[in-house]
Amino acid sequence: MDDIDSAIIAQLQLDARQSNRELARRVGIAASTCLERVRGLHERGVITGYHARLDLSKIGRSVQAIVAAQVRPSSRTVINSFHDWAAPRPEVLEVLVVAGGDDFLIRVAVQDNERLHGFLIDHLAKRKEVVSFRTLVVFQHSATTAITPLLTMT
């Protein structure tokens, strides 16, 4: 990673749909150089994909919550099994395996409080490995959309 790679990443995070020519112009390099740099970032696994950011409330998922869950026994098999159950669920946006008092933080987005309650009671609470969970309802959400590589920061 160098300053040019960082600049390319910053620009792609702002607009991943821009043309290579536009990206090269914004970064200040030749289009052919830019194309090779972007290919290299893909090959090294720095860029793993592109996606569209959505307004969750406009797609009927206006209620968000963070669910902190504890599972037992605390083993790799149980952790992996629970993760594999939670991650593909339609309500789930993110699953984080964490250290501390909880084993998981699960970010969910649903239509309304009744759906949130249903997810918690009808699905999460019925998992035999879940010994406790607590729910934090999210009132406001903002996320960093452009991440600066720390390797080039001073």
Which SS3 state, helix, strand or coil, does residue 122 take?
A: helix
Q: What is the pLDDT of residues 20-78, one digit of tens each?
A: 999 999 999 999 999 999 999 999 999 999 988 889 999 999 999 999 999 999 999 99
- The structure tokens listed for 8 are 């390319």
* Single-letter code of the amino acid located at 34: C
Can you list the domains of the chain with their CATH numbers? 3-52 (1.10.10.10), 56-138 (3.30.70.920)
Task: Compute φ and ψ for 66, nearest 5 degrees.
Answer: -110, 125
> Strand (E) positions, the chain?
63-71, 92-97, 104-110, 130-138
Which residue shows structure tokens 């991440």? 147
Tens of pLDDT along 132-149? 999 999 999 888 777 877
pLDDT beyond 70 at 152: no
Question: pLDDT value at position 13?
Answer: 92
Give the residue among 89, 90, 23, 39 at the shortest CA–CA distance from 61. 90
Q: What is the pLDDT of residue 146?
A: 76
Q: Would you place residue 154 in the very low, low, confident or very high pLDDT band (cuts 50, 70, 90)?
A: very low
pLDDT surpasses 80 at 150:
no
Sign of the dihedral defined by the CA atoms of residues 86, 87, 93, 96, in that order: positive
Q: Which two tokens stand for residue 81?
A: 């099994």
- What is the separation of C-alpha 40 from the centre of its chain, rounded to a whole number of angstroms? 23
Predicted TM-score of the model (pTM): 0.82
